[in-house]
Amino acid sequence: MMQSRARLLVVSPHLDDAVLSCGLLLAANPSAIVCTVFTAPPPENMSTDWDRQSGFTDAFEAMQTRKQEDIRALQKLGARPVHLSFCDAQYLLTPSPDDLTGALRRTLNEHSPENVFFPLGIFHSDHTLVSDACLALIDVMADTAFHGYEDVPYRQRQEAVLERIEELTKSGYALSPTTDMGAPVNAFSAHEQIKREAIAAYASQLRAFGPQGQSSLYSTEKYWRLQRASS
């Protein structure tokens, strides 16, 4: 049986990034796939500052609960989760670029999306690592359109956004604002409410952000089409 082609796949570094940065897009495109990269606990248990701020005793408890939160959040958006088994930077086990690119390529080949949305790669090392891995696939997946999303909450650092765009331009990529998402995205419609309900499912992360940090989580979504610049 031939597998139907997914229209849209969002690559998420952590278990909340896709919803924070692309929640309206996902609400407007039910049945999208969200591939989250860093969902594995470390081989040996530990306790980090962020996990403690999130209300967890240790990493094992944190990752188990956070995956459950992610499933609930994506259900509200009608999206399908794919969880890759890499550890994020706080657990001191950063994957090699080749391993990460290979895993993402296998995932994209499995689902054959028409459009891939991935982090622009602002500020956070995990986000930049995932962004670079996705950029490496542009040349080998010519039938797929790649779009970078501005990473929430780090896009609040406007100078960091501009620096990343300049870096990508110097690396030979052409960026243009993505305006046609294939379905209307209306921040003043039911999509906004659905996104807020999905964000609320990440209770542990909201706890860690605190009231002041939470205020930066509901900014406007922005996307960039990325292609190799013409020589």
**1 belongs to a structural domain:** no
**231 belongs to a structural domain:** no
**78 belongs to a structural domain:** yes
DSSP bridge pairs for 228: 173
Instruction: Report the number of distinct structural domains present in the chain.
Output: 1
Burial state string for 51-76 with b = 16 or more CB within 10 A and e = fewer than 16: beebebeebbbbbebbbebbeebbeb
**72 belongs to a structural domain:** yes
Both structure tokens of 220: 């406007």
Write out the chain's pLDDT in tens, 231 residues.
Answer: 334 456 899 999 999 999 999 999 999 998 999 999 999 999 999 999 989 989 999 999 999 999 999 999 999 999 999 999 999 999 988 899 999 999 999 999 999 999 999 999 988 889 999 999 999 999 999 889 999 999 998 887 888 899 999 999 999 999 998 876 555 555 558 888 899 999 999 999 898 887 777 777 777 889 999 998 775
Rounded CA-CA distance 186/190 in Å is 8
Pairing of strands 33-36, 80-83: parallel
Entry pTM: 0.90
Rounded CA-CA distance 179/194 in Å is 21
Residue span of the structural domain in which 32 resides: 8-226
**179 belongs to a structural domain:** yes
Looking at residue 186, what is its pLDDT?
56
Both structure tokens of 173: 């990529």
**189 belongs to a structural domain:** yes
CATH number of the domain encompassing residue 22: 3.40.50.10320
**122 belongs to a structural domain:** yes
